[in-house]
Amino acid sequence: MPKRPRPRKRGAGKLEARAASILRAAPTAADRPTRAEAEGAVRTLIRWAGDDPDREGLAETPARVARAYDEFFEGYGLDPAEVLRRTFEETEGYDELVLLRDVRFESTCEHHMVPIVGRAHIGYLPNQRVVGISKLARVVEIYARRLQMQEKMTAQIANTIDEVLKPKGVAVVLEAEHQCLTTRGAHKPGASMVTSRMLGEFRDNPTTRREFLALIGKNGVS
């Protein structure tokens, strides 16, 4: 008898279609506009705002904006996982919490393209190896230098540390002020957003989670 085809998991077709759609939509180097096209787009926005891009004060603005975007979005050309690959195993068996607090970051809201400014707190429980603390800060910087949602950025940082270092647990908390909330729309200056991602021991062990939160000044959160 001919073999029956193996039944597909429910929803598999939708997942494959979604993955294919993402791959089709992903930009390639060939799709990237030229610097001249980028500057032309800035000129269009200046005109749309109601001003003259050729007047003295704005004549160099398109070029300045393009250069600024090189810096704001340099994270697209960098691999955060590669930053973490150099680790150290000579730790004398150290297996307690490693915590890096108050890592300032500046990112850009993907919905309104205005600044997100905040601080990241990162903790992990080593599993025989540790990484230089500057590398943790660099991972934050790489993800921040992209169009972002704070929730997504929190998960990206935690997941990358977890996948590369394979520690016993990872904890990431981001606190940030979003100018899409403070300077437009609801106009609520001073409001900040807090997001967290707990993996491994930090998710499963309330004591470990409380230790991390207490050390970053979030004693009332559990």
Q: With beta carbons less than 8 A apart as the criterion, state whether 114 and 108 touch.
A: yes
Among 123, 84, 98, residue whose Cα is nearest residue 202: 123
Out of 112, 128, 179, 211, which one is annotated catalytic? 112
Token representation of residue 82:
């590669």
Q: With beta carbons less than 8 A apart as the criterion, state whether 68 and 84 touch.
A: no
In three-state secondary structure terms, 195 is strand
* One CATH from 3.40.50.150, 3.40.718.10, 3.40.50.720, 3.30.1130.10 for 88-215: 3.30.1130.10
Among 65, 57, 60, residue whose Cα is nearest residue 41: 65
pLDDT digits (tens, 9 = 90+) for 109-120: 999 999 999 999
Known catalytic residue at 112:
yes
Among 169, 197, 160, residue whose Cα is nearest residue 83: 160
Known catalytic residue at 110:
yes
The 3-class secondary structure across 76-101, one letter per residue, is HHCCHHHHCCCEECCCCCCCCCEEEE
Distances, alpha carbon 176 to alpha carbons 68, 77, 134, 165, 168, in Å: 21, 24, 21, 26, 27
For residues 153 and 26, which has the higher predicted lDDT (pLDDT)?
153
Q: With beta carbons less than 8 A apart as the criterion, state whether 168 and 96 touch.
A: no
Out of 109, 121, 148, 156, which one is annotated catalytic? 109
Kindly list the domain boundaries of the chain, sorted by start residue.
34-72, 88-215
Known catalytic residue at 151:
no
pLDDT digits (tens, 9 = 90+) for 159-202: 999 999 999 999 999 999 999 999 999 899 999 999 999 999 99
pLDDT digits (tens, 9 = 90+) for 56-109: 999 999 999 999 999 999 999 999 999 999 999 888 889 999 999 999 999 999
The answer to whether residue 19 scores a pLDDT higher than 50 is no
User: Given this model, what pLDDT does residue 15 score?
Assistant: 47
Q: What is the mean pLDDT of the chain?
A: 89
Out of 110, 128, 177, 211, which one is annotated catalytic? 110
Distances, alpha carbon 72 to alpha carbons 39, 127, 183, 203, in Å: 16, 34, 20, 33
Out of 37, 111, 151, 163, which one is annotated catalytic? 111
Q: Torsions phi, psi of 42, nearest 5? A: -65, -40
Question: What is the model's pTM?
Answer: 0.84
